[in-house]
C-alpha cells in the first residue's frame, strides 16, 4: 500500500534543475550551483496542534510546505528542493491526492522540487524538509541585530490568530482571515530582497513579540515594539474587535508567516525600495536597544509609551 502511495506522489512530483536523482532510490542526489550554500529547514505539522481538525487536506498540504519555505525566506534563501514524510492513519489515496493538490500548487509556484520522503502508518503527521540556496555571507541570521536598528515587519499581523479564535468559538470566520490561517504566503521574494540590507531576520510563526525575542537573545540586544504600529489588514479591522483583543492577536498570536527584521536607520529607503520590487509592504514597528540589566528583552509599549502587557505570551509547545 505504501508503494502505491509513493508511486502516486512520484508521478506528480515537481521537477527542477539540480535534481540528479529524485524519488525512487535510497536517497536523492542534488547538485547545488557552484559556490552556493545550502539552507536546510524542517518543520512538522501534527493534526489538532498545527491545524484544526477538519482542515481541508489541500490546505494542510499547502501549509506543510509554506511553513518551511517561510523559514527559508527568513534566511534570505531561494527554495530549491524538499522532502515529505507522511504519517497517515490509513492509506487513503483520495486524501493524499487532495493533500498533493495544495502541496504541489505551492511547490510549482515557488519552483521547488519534491525529491524524496517517507510514508508510514500512524497518527496524522506531516514533516517537510526544505532546502534553499544562498550565496555565502548573504544569509539573514538571527544574530545580526544591532542597537539603533529599526525593527520592521512585512505585510500585516493578526489575521491567522483572529481566524483561529473565531473558529474555536464556532463563529463565522471571514474568508480573507481563514485564507491567512490555511494558506500562508511565505515571503520568499521579500526575504531574498532583504539579503544584504537587513541585519537580522526571523519569520513570525509564534507571535511577533516571542519571535523578536529570539532575535534579541541571539544578538544580545533588547527591542522596543510599539503595539499601536503593528499593521492590520482591512479584514481584521472590519471585524471591529476591541483594541486590546486586536493587539493581542497581532503581538502574541501565531501563524502570520510574515518576516520581522532589523535594519539600520540609513537603510530605510533601501528597505522600502527592495520590498517594493518584491511587491511587499513593510512597517516600522520599533527599534533595537542595547541589552539591559535583565538581558535581552522585548518591551512592548502602548501609544502613551507605557508598558503594554500581553495577557498570553506567544504560543509555546509543552507549556500549559
Ligand atoms: P526506503 O526503505 O529506502 O526508505 P521508501 O520505500 O521509504 O524506501 O522510499 C522509496 C522512495 O520513495 C525513496 O526515494 C523515498 O525518498 C521516496 N518516498 C517515500 N515516501 C515519500 C513521500 N511521502 N514523498 C516523496 N517521496 C517519498
Ligand atoms: Mg523510507
If you take atom 10 of ligand 1, which residue's CA is the nearest one? 24
d(CA 25, CA 190): 35
Closest C-alpha to ligand 1, atom 1: 26
To the nearest whole number, what is the mean pLDDT of the chain? 93
Ligand 1 pocket member 116 (CB < 6 A): yes
Closest atom, ligand 1, to C-alpha of 116: 16
Q: Indicate whether residue 61 lines ligand 1 (CB < 6 A).
A: no
Instruction: Examine the pLDDT at 318 and tell me if it is beyond 50.
Output: no
- The yes-or-no verdict on residue 182 having pLDDT over 50 is yes
Mean pLDDT of 136-141: 97
- If you measure from the C-alpha of residue 114 to the centroid of ligand 1, how many angstroms do you get, rounded to a whole number? 11
Best probe residue, ligand 1, of 19, 23, 28 (max atoms within 8 Å of C-beta): 23
Three cell numbers written together for 134? 544562498
Ligand 1 contact, 9 CB (< 6 A): yes
CA distance 202 to 305: 25
Least confident interval from 86-95, 194-203, 225-234, 266-275: 86-95
**pLDDT value at residue 114:** 98
118 C-alpha vs ligand 2 centroid, how far in Å? 4
Who surrounds ion ligand 2 at CB < 5 A? 118
Chain position carrying cell 532510490: 25
Q: Is the CB of 114 under 6 A from ligand 1?
A: yes
pLDDT digits (tens, 9 = 90+) for 31-88: 999 999 999 999 999 988 888 888 899 999 999 999 999 999 999 999 999 999 999 9
Reported as a pLDDT band with limits 50, 70 and 90, residue 190 is: very high
Q: Determine the average pLDDT of the residues in 233-255.
A: 93
Q: What is the pLDDT of residue 320?
A: 35
d(CA 67, CA 51): 12
Ligand 1 atom nearest residue 3's Cα? 6
Task: State if residue 117 touches ligand 1 by the CB under 6 angstroms criterion.
Answer: yes
What is the CA(129)–ligand 2 centre distance, in A?
A: 14
User: What pLDDT is recorded for position 319?
Assistant: 43
Average pLDDT over residues 133-147: 97
What's residue 314's pLDDT?
Answer: 52
Whether 148 contacts 250, CB under 8 Å = no
For the whole model, what pTM was predicted? Answer: 0.94
Check whether 260 has a pLDDT greater than 80: yes
**pLDDT in the model for residue 181:** 94
Q: pLDDT, tens digit, for every residue of 273-310?
A: 999 999 999 999 999 999 988 789 999 999 888 999 86
Number of H helices, E strands in the chain: 10, 12
Better-predicted residue by pLDDT, 258 or 91: 258
What is residue 53's predicted lDDT score, i.e. its pLDDT? 80
Q: Is the CB of residue 26 below 6 angstroms from any atom belonging to ligand 1?
A: yes
In sequence order, the 6+-apart residues with CB closer than 8 A to the CB of 14 are 104, 107, 108, 111, 112, 113, 114
Instruction: Please give the pLDDT value at position 170.
Output: 82
Q: What H or E segment, with its residue span, contains residue 125?
A: strand 125-134
Atom of ligand 1 nearest to the CA of 27: 14
Amino acid at each position: 500500500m505504501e508503494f502505491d502511495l509513493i508511486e502516486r506522489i512520484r508521478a506528480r512530483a515537481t521537477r527542477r534543475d539540480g535534481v540528479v536523482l529524485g524519488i525512487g532510490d535510497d536517497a536523492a542526489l542534488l547538485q547545488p550551483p557552484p559556490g552556493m550554500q545550502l539552507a536546510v529547514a524542517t518543520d512538522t505539522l501534527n493534526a489538532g496542534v498545527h491545524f484544526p481538525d477538519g482542515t481541508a487536506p489541500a490546505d494542510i498540504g499547502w501549509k506543510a510546505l509554506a511553513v518551511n519555505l517561510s523559514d527559508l525566506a527568513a534566511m534570505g534563501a531561494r527554495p530549491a528542493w524538499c522532502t515529505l514524510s507522511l504519517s497517515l492513519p490509513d492509506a487513503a489515496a483520495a486524501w493524499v491526492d487532495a493533500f498533493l493538490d495544495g502541496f504541489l500548487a505551492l511547490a510549482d509556484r515557488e519552483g521547488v522540487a519534491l525529491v524524496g520522503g517517507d510514508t508510514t502508518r500512524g497518527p496524522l503527521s506531516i514533516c517537510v524538509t526544505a532546502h534553499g540556496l544562498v550565496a555565502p555571507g548573504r544569509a539573514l541570521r538571527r544574530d545580526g541585530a544591532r542597537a539603533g536598528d529599526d525593527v520592521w515587519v512585512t505585510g500585516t499581523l493578526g489575521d491567522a490568530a483572529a481566524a483561529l479564535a473565531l473558529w474555536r468559538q464556532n463563529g463565522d470566520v471571514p474568508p480573507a482571515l481563514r485564507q491567512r490561517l490555511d494558506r500562508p504566503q511565505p515571503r520568499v521574494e521579500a526575504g531574498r530582497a532583504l539579503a544584504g540590507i537587513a541585519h537580522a531576520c526571523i519569520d513570525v510563526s509564534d507571535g511577533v513579540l516571542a519571535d523578536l525575542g529570539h532575535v534579541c537573545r541571539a544578538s544580545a540586544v533588547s527591542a522596543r515594539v510599539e503595539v499601536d504600529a503593528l499593521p492590520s489588514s482591512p479584514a481584521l479591522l472590519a471585524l471591529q474587535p476591541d483594541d486590546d483583543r486586536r493587539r493581542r492577536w497581532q503581538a502574541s498570536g501565531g501563524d502570520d508567516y510574515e518576516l520581522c527584521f532589523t535594519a539600520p536607520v540609513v537603510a530605510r529607503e533601501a528597505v522600502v525600495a527592495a520590498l517594493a520590487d518584491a511587491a511587499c509592504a513593510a512597517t516600522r514597528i520599533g527599534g533595537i536597544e542595547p541589552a539591559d540589566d535583565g538581558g535581552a528583552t522585548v518591551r512592548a509599549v502602548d501609544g502613551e509609551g507605557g508598558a503594554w502587557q500581553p495577557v498570553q505570551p506567544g504560543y509555546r509547545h509543552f507549556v500549559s
